[in-house]
Amino acid sequence: GESVGLHLPTLSVQEGDNSIINCAYSNSASDYFIWYKQESGKGPQFIIDIRSNMDKRQGQRVTVLLNKTVKHLSLQIAATQPGDSAVYFCAERAGNMLTFGGGTRLMVKP
């Protein structure tokens, strides 16, 4: 697992509560943003995306908010479940390249 290297901020929530994970991006030319979930030993799993011409997009239990003025992205997870425990990365795309943020570890307490 991830025991060395980058220290990840951790969000600890009670099962059933809502979670909000935040991300600051850097490139004002980025036109597309994605949230990925990564479980230990697995590849990033697509959760939800949003284009730069939108400020909100909803999926099943998840909502992504985009504030281009302050270059901020957030992921809201409703009724968080133990299976949501993972590291969450935001990614921004400019051209054909994705740049990932540092990640936030979400821990769900039963």
Partner 1 sequence: EPEVTQTPSHQVTQMGQEVILRCVPISNHLYFYWYRQILGQKVEFLVSFYNNEISEKSEIFDDQFSVERPDGSNFTLKIRSTKLEDSAMYFCASRGLDEQYFGPGTRLTVT
Site string for partner 1, 35-64 (x = CB under 8 A): -x-x---xxxxx--x-x-------------
Does position 95 interact with partner 1 (CB under 8 A)? The reply is: yes
Shortest spacing between CB 19 and partner 1, in angstroms: 20
Size of residue set near partner 1 by CB under 8 A? 27
Shortest spacing between CB 80 and partner 1, in angstroms: 23
DSSP character string of 9-43: PEEEEETTS-EEEEEE---TT--EEEEEEE-TTS-
* Residue in 70, 72, 96, 91 with CA at minimum distance from that of residue 20: 72
Contacts of 100 (CB under 8 A, 6+ apart): 36, 89, 90, 91
Enumerate binding residues for partner 1 (CB under 8 A). 2-6, 32, 34, 36, 38, 42-46, 49, 51, 89, 91, 95-103
